[in-house]
């Protein structure tokens, strides 16, 4: 897969353009907050053959640009099913951060996805794993070699669990499940640099509880 990371907006969110090099078929993961991604896509020549928009979760910094992107690309959009209640708050989420100018229209959801569901393109497929905790329905999409995790996991960190509808206990269970996927998977997070599941399992200070459970000895631990 060819992975292009496009970092956009006030919150410096990583959006991803994933393309099958043979066919040119692409999908987008997350939209960023404003019109940035749509503007960047409009300038690309030749225009990529984008078939779908996949949202990891419905925070405004990841999904706020959906309406503007759909105005440019009228393609199917996927959202984790349990994320719908949060998605409906997009027109008010700017208020949560004291920035009403960031209240956004919702855009259109064509398909919801649930744990284990496979999204088939003509030339590649992505599997969805539900990893709630940062938000009620946050999830990740993965191929044979890559996983797009939104704000579930970062290089050396995890997504915050103190926002409305966040849940630290669910987050701990989600990270436990996430780490049962193959360690070689390259991790593309919603913020910051890429990593691998194996590297995070060994070194991420927020995953110390998993290392204890597995009898691993490496890595410092941060209680949370």
Write out the residues near Zn ion by the rule CB under 5 A. Answer: 59, 151
Q: Token match 């927020």: residue?
A: 206
Query: What's the min distance (Å) between Cβ of 190 and Zn ion?
Result: 7
CB closer to Zn ion out of 59 and 104: 59
What is the C-alpha to C-alpha distance for residues 29 and 77, in angstroms, rounded to an integer? 10
Give me the helices (H) in the chain, please: 36-43, 60-63, 66-72, 84-87, 90-96, 168-178, 197-203, 208-213
Give the DSSP letter of residue 215.
T
Query: Of 55, 69, 60, nearest to 94 (Cα)?
Result: 60
CB closer to Zn ion out of 146 and 151: 151
Decide if 109 contacts 137 (C-beta within 8 A): no
Give the DSSP letter of residue 149.
E
CB closer to Zn ion out of 48 and 65: 65
Query: What's the min distance (Å) between Cβ of 105 and Zn ion?
Result: 18
- Count of other CB atoms within 10 angstroms of residue 219: 15
CB closer to Zn ion out of 6 and 42: 6
CB closer to Zn ion out of 36 and 151: 151
Query: What's the min distance (Å) between Cβ of 148 and Zn ion?
Result: 13
What is the C-alpha to C-alpha distance for residues 48 and 19, in angstroms, rounded to an integer? 8
């Amino acid at each position: 897969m060819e992975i292009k990371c496009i970092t956009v907006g006030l919150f410096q969110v990583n959006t991803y353009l994933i393309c099958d090099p043979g066919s040119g078929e692409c999908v987008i993961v997350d939209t960023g907050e404003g019109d940035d991604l749509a503007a960047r896509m409009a300038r690309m020549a030749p225009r990529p053959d984008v078939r779908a928009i996949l949202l990891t979760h419905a925070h405004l910094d990841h999904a706020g640009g959906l309406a503007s992107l759909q105005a440019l690309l009228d393609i199917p959009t996927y959202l984790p099913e349990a994320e719908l209640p949060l998605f409906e708050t997009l027109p008010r989420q700017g208020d949560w951060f004291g920035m009403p100018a960031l209240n956004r229209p919702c855009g259109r959801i064509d398909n919801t996805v649930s744990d284990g569901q496979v999204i088939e393109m003509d030339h590649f497929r992505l599997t969805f794993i539900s990893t709630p905790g940062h938000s009620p329905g946050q999830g990740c999409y993965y191929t044979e070699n890559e996983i797009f995790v939104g704000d579930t996991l970062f290089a050396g960190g995890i997504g915050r669990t103190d926002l409305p509808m966040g849940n630290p206990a669910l987050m701990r269970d989600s990270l436990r499940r996430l780490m049962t996927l193959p360690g070689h998977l390259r991790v593309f997070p919603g913020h910051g640099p890429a990593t691998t599941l194996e590297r995070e399992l060994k070194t991420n200070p927020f995953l110390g509880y998993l290392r204890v459970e597995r009898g691993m000895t490496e890595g410092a631990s941060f209680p949370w």
